[in-house]
Amino acid sequence: MNDPVNGFVYPVGYGQVLTPTERQRVLRNTYWLLALSMVPTVLGAWLGVELQIGQMLRGILGMVVFLGGAFGFMVAIERTKHTSTGVTVLLGFTFFMGLMLSGLISHTLGFRNGPELIMTAFAGTAGVFFGMATLASVIKTSVEGLGKWLMAGLMVLIVGSIINLFVGSTGAMLVISMLAIAIFSLYILYDLKQIMEGGETNYISATLRIYLDVYNVFVNLLSLLGIFGGERE
């Protein structure tokens, strides 16, 4: 479930070996779609803050809505990724993710320096992305073996997050956020290398994966900045 944008579907068959030119086209389309996906994300976050959706979706209810909505969208994206509809569904998904982000945005805006924290998190996330993208273009060896370690780390992260949802430990949240930033930063590198090496041939699926990597880096970085740098009124 990963590959997006250029605005039009790029027809690549299952299991097809891509030429270097075709790989560059998939990568370019992915970058364009990823950039476009930020627009509905911002709109969704703004609307969510205005409607106070984050206040309504707390705790277990919020997790159920988030997981249910995200899973439904990702299944729909996987089924439509070889058609022009896939781009529309992906953008709908990013709008939904913006809505889900509104709770954290609202909380951060409650700090006196909230807007600055959000911009810092945005700049930091952009820095991580461009750093990993540059690294992916420089590394000549395959990073295929990194995938299993990242998956193992992701499983630990998920289990730890679920447990801490009930425990509510600030210390554990700090560790989880720092681990998440490290894991998803490496996932950006891994997913970009997959495209560059021809392992991912669908730009809508590729965009989905990288979008989720970037989203998670931003969320966890903003959470850390709020804990360490948030100034109360």
- Does 10 reside within a domain? no
| Residue 92: CB atoms within 10 Å | 15
Tens of pLDDT along 30-83? 999 999 999 999 999 999 999 888 777 776 777 788 889 999 999 999 999 999
- The residue ranking higher by pLDDT, 171 or 192, is 192
Give me the number of domains the chain comprises: 1
Write out the two tokens for 152.
Answer: 């193992």
Residue 36: give the domain boundaries.
Answer: 20-229
- Does 7 reside within a domain? no
Q: Mean pLDDT of all residues in the chain? A: 87
- Does 143 reside within a domain? yes
- Does 13 reside within a domain? no
User: How large is the average pLDDT for residues 176-200?
Assistant: 93
- Does 211 reside within a domain? yes
Average the pLDDT over each of 5-14, 54-63, 90-99 and give the range with the smallest value: 5-14
Counting other chains too, the contacts that 48-51 makes at CB distance below 8 Å and 24 or more residues apart are 48/98, 48/99, 48/100, 48/101, 48/102, 48/103, 48/105, 48/106, 49/102, 49/105, 49/106, 49/109, 51/102
- Does 6 reside within a domain? no
- Does 119 reside within a domain? yes
Axis-axis angle for helices 20-51, 203-229 (nearest 10)? 50
Tens of pLDDT along 147-181? 899 999 999 998 998 888 788 778 888 999 999 99
- Does 104 reside within a domain? yes
What is the pTM for the complete model shown? 0.87
